[in-house]
Structure 1
Amino acid sequence: MKLREYLKSLDERQLERYAARVGTSSKYLKSHVMGASRGASLKFMRALANESDGKVRLLDVLVHYGVPPEELDMKAQAA
């Protein structure tokens, strides 16, 4: 599931709890994460994926923040 879709699927209470688990506020999630208007640390991106209860993969979060999928495929193949 795409990160934006996941965030939109949460009601206000769920969004507040998710925000607390990832170490931010629901306002920050709405204003900066939904539109990927600010960069994010790998630690924060991992938290976004890990705290989604398996609904959002780290790969989806990386793509949300602008990492091209083909670049991620190349790194996976090199490993």
Structure 2
Amino acid sequence: MAALIVGGDIITTIKHELSAHGISDFEHWDGRRPGDLHRIIPKNTELIVVVTNFVNHGLVSKIKRDAKRLRLPVVYSKNSRSFFASVSSV
């Protein structure tokens, strides 16, 4: 299973938590570069995690729109392990 993580600077905690749920392939967009707004969600993506700390609002709108079109689940998170512990159904 593959996940796209959008936003955040240090995503090690999120990667560890997602790995515990069987996700082994990750792509990370920091969400601060203007070019991120024009990127395309990778074809193998099965889950999108948007880290709400440090992400461009325009990019979040694009991700929501694209995820809906592709029928991909989106999880919104703070960059913390405690948040993911409460969302164990990922």
TM, length-normalised to structure 1: 0.29
Higher helix residue share:
1
TM, length-normalised to structure 2: 0.27
